[in-house]
Amino acid sequence: MRFGLAQIRYRWGESRSWEDGTTDNLDKAVEFIRRAGREGAAVVAFSEYFLGNVKPMPIPCPITDRLAQAAREANVYVICGATRELLPKPKGARRPPKPRICSFVIAPNGKIVSKHYKQVFYPNERGQYDPGPNRPTTIHGVKVGILGGYELLVPEIARKLANAGAEILVVQMVASSDMPYMLETMQSAVRARTMELLMPVLAVGQYGEFYGGIMMQGGSIAYVPELGKFQGKWAPNGARLVTRMGEYENLLPVDIAPETAREVRKRFSWW
């Protein structure tokens, strides 16, 4: 199965409304979806806030409709990175609920097939958003877990997804230019989760100008677990680097063989 990690250079910009269904970042995302289809990807994954500074929006809405149209035309699944979701006020409630930070998956038929809510927040997100449920989604018969940001650094989040059946993890990774150790730490965490869970972990890096002019560093990366024979028995041989990117815009292809990943977990378990 080919994944396309869409490390697009987006602009945070001024806060935009979702009603008109268009932003410069959205136009670029649509082009990357089309490119993923041309290059044989089954899945294209975007980073957190790839749409930029769009106000909390209902999902679906005109913006997601454009992404859905692109998914249909390209015949690909689209993993849409963290976006602020505006939730309706429950009947009888005095005030609307807080927004949630939502990643969502669009199928090749243009339907939104799953939503995945952030549970671990950045300091500037805390108090503004509510956490929500997050379970694996099924893509071409493979269960894929989705997590973002600091969730990569909290092993329990990935472990919950694995316990719920995830076979591959797709991470929306974040590291900013004013945090000099974060990119290396995040990439090391991708490697650690690969070995802890014995499954492929693919991380698409957030890249471009963020709030306040801070630059997000990209650094998309993918690892798969490897086994070897130790004294005649299967044992972990480490996490193998499949591919990585630096600070530039590109669609990074990652080919994963789900049956090989399953075989690793059949041959070896930590317990």
Sequence length of the chain is: 271
CA separation for the pair 95, 170 (Å, rounded)? 34
Return the pLDDT at 13.
Answer: 84
Return the structure tokens found at 78.
């689209």
Other CB atoms within 10 Å distance of the CB of residue 69: 14
On whether the CB atoms of residues 82 and 54 are closer than 8 A, the answer is no
Domains (range + CATH), the chain: 2-267 (3.60.110.10)
Compute φ and ψ for 81, nearest 5 degrees: -65, 170
Other CB atoms within 10 Å distance of the CB of residue 255: 13
Distances from the Cα of 172 to the Cα of 79, 83, 97, 151, angstroms: 10, 12, 25, 9
22, pLDDT greater than 90: no
* Cβ-proximal residues to 250 (8 Å cutoff; 6+ apart), any chain: 7
Write the single-letter amino acid at 235: A
Sheet order of strands, 9-11 included: 9-11, 207-209, 215-217
What is the pLDDT averaged over residues 139-167? 98
213, pLDDT greater than 90: no
Its pTM surpasses 0.85: yes
**pLDDT tens, residue by residue, 45-64:** 999 999 999 999 999 999 99
Task: Give the HSE-up count for residue 83: Cα atoms under 13 Å, Cβ half-sphere.
Answer: 28
Between 74 and 91, the higher pLDDT residue:
74
139, pLDDT greater than 90: yes
3-state helix, strand, coil in the chain (%, to 5): 25, 35, 40
Least confident window among 18-32, 97-111, 193-207: 18-32
What is the pLDDT averaged over residues 262-269? 95
CA separation for the pair 20, 9 (Å, rounded)? 22
Mean per-residue pLDDT of the chain:
96
**Using the 8-state DSSP alphabet, how is residue 150 labeled?**
G
Return the pLDDT at 34.
Answer: 99
270, pLDDT greater than 80: yes
Packing angle of the helix pair 182-197, 155-163 (nearest 10 deg): 30
On whether the CB atoms of residues 76 and 33 are closer than 8 A, the answer is yes
Q: Which neighbouring-strand residues pair with 169?
A: 145, 201
CA separation for the pair 209, 91 (Å, rounded)? 39
pLDDT class of 153 with cuts at 50, 70, 90: very high
Least confident window among 6-15, 18-27, 115-124: 18-27
Q: CA nearest 43: which of 141, 116, 152?
A: 141
Write the single-letter amino acid at 195: M
15, pLDDT greater than 90: no
28, pLDDT greater than 80: yes
Return the structure tokens found at 206.
């957030």
**pLDDT tens, residue by residue, 104-119:** 999 999 999 999 999 9
pLDDT class of 16 with cuts at 50, 70, 90: confident
pLDDT class of 81 with cuts at 50, 70, 90: very high
Return the pLDDT at 98.
Answer: 96
Between 116 and 16, the higher pLDDT residue:
116
212, pLDDT greater than 90: no
Return the pLDDT at 216.
Answer: 96
On whether the CB atoms of residues 25 and 11 are closer than 8 A, the answer is yes
